[in-house]
Amino acid sequence: MLLATMPRVLGPAEEIKIPVTVFATENNIRNVSLRMEANALIEPVGANNQSVFFNAAGEQQVYFNARVKPATGIAKVKLVASSGKERTEYEVELDVRNANPPVTRVTERTLAAGQSFSAPVMPVGTGNTNRAVVEISSLPAINLESRLQYLIQYPHGCIEQVTSSVFPQLVLNQLTELTSQQKLQVDINIRKGIERIKDFQARDGGFS
């Protein structure tokens, strides 16, 4: 039998030491080979194969070192133990999430008639979490994409703030051309905002 002690969550680029307890439940088990496998988010540090020897039934502990890739997602770690014809596996899934707040970088350019502009796109943040948006307007730039995300992710939730985050989304399609996915998301946000406002209604019909 195997039992690994793992954290509940991981962060990008973190290093972890994984204690693994090996239980030999029969006296005929002697040499036990251990192997650690992982998906693309986890890479072993040092050897990913170890072995332990048992004189009799009992338990021993070994350690594996691993490093999290600079990305987010679901990490999977599998430990395999074998001794002769005996084999057992222990598998666990971990959420790799970034504890830092979102970061937005904006580059603005004003072009006269006939002018052109080009610049390399430098990704911000960790891999597979970043994206780039091009916003073109004949009006002064308002950083609409950044402001929309701020509205959607606004962390406070009293009735004034819920209303303030949802109300501008009612007229968002008049300011910019939305994709079908964005239209669906805006519709979901508005409906959720209305449902949230209902929770503030008092018994007399007013709102707290």
Question: Does residue 124 fall inside a structural domain?
Answer: no
For the residues 164-191, what does the mean pLDDT come to?
85
DSSP string covering 50-94: EEEE-SSSEEEEEEEEEEE-SB-EEEEEEEEEEETTEEEEEEEEE
**82 within domain boundaries:** yes
Residues 106 and 49 in one domain: no
Q: Which amino acid is at 202?
A: A
pLDDT-based confidence at residue 183 (cuts at 50, 70, 90): confident
- Residue 81 and residue 141 in one domain: no
CATH at 74: 2.60.40.10
pLDDT (0 to 100) of residue 105: 85
Instruction: Count the domains in the chain.
Output: 2
Share of the chain above pLDDT 90, in %: 38
The verdict on 83 and 157 lying in the same domain is no
- Same domain for 142 and 196: yes
| Residue range of the domain that includes 84 | 2-96
* Band (155; pLDDT cuts 50, 70, 90): low
pLDDT in tens, 40-62: 999 999 888 999 999 999 999 99
Of 165, 171, 108, whose CA–CA distance to 139 is shortest?
108
Give the per-residue pLDDT at 98.
Answer: 86
Query: Tell me, what's the pLDDT at 2?
Result: 92
Residues 105 and 79 in one domain: no
Give the list of residues 6+ apart from residue 24 with CB closer than 8 angstroms, or none: 32, 54, 56, 57, 58, 59, 60, 83
pTM of the model: 0.56
Which pLDDT score is estimated for 154? Answer: 64
Output the six-digit token pair for 78: 């599998």
In this predicted structure, the answer to whether residue 22 has a pLDDT above a threshold of 90 is yes
Q: Per-residue pLDDT averaged across 63-80, rounded?
A: 92
Q: Are residues 191 and 106 part of one domain?
A: yes
Share of the chain above pLDDT 70, in %: 94
CA distance 96 to 77: 12
User: For residue 51, is it within any domain?
Assistant: yes
CA 98, 49, 55, 90 torsion-angle sign: positive
Banded model confidence at residue 156, pLDDT cuts 50, 70, 90: low
Out of 96, 119, 139, a domain closes at: 96
* Spatial contact of 96 and 9, defined as CB atoms under 8 Å apart: yes
In a domain, 56, yes or no: yes
Chain centroid, CA 61 distance in Å: 31
Residues 105 and 20 in one domain: no
Same domain, 138 and 87: no
164 burial level (CB within 10 Å; 0-12, 13-18, 19+): middle
Average pLDDT (114-143) is 80
Last residue in a domain, options 70, 96, 122: 96
Residue 78 reports pLDDT greater than 70: yes
| Backbone φ/ψ region at 167: left (φ over 0), alpha (ψ -120 to 50), beta | alpha
Helices (runs of H) and strands (runs of E) counted in the chain: 4, 9
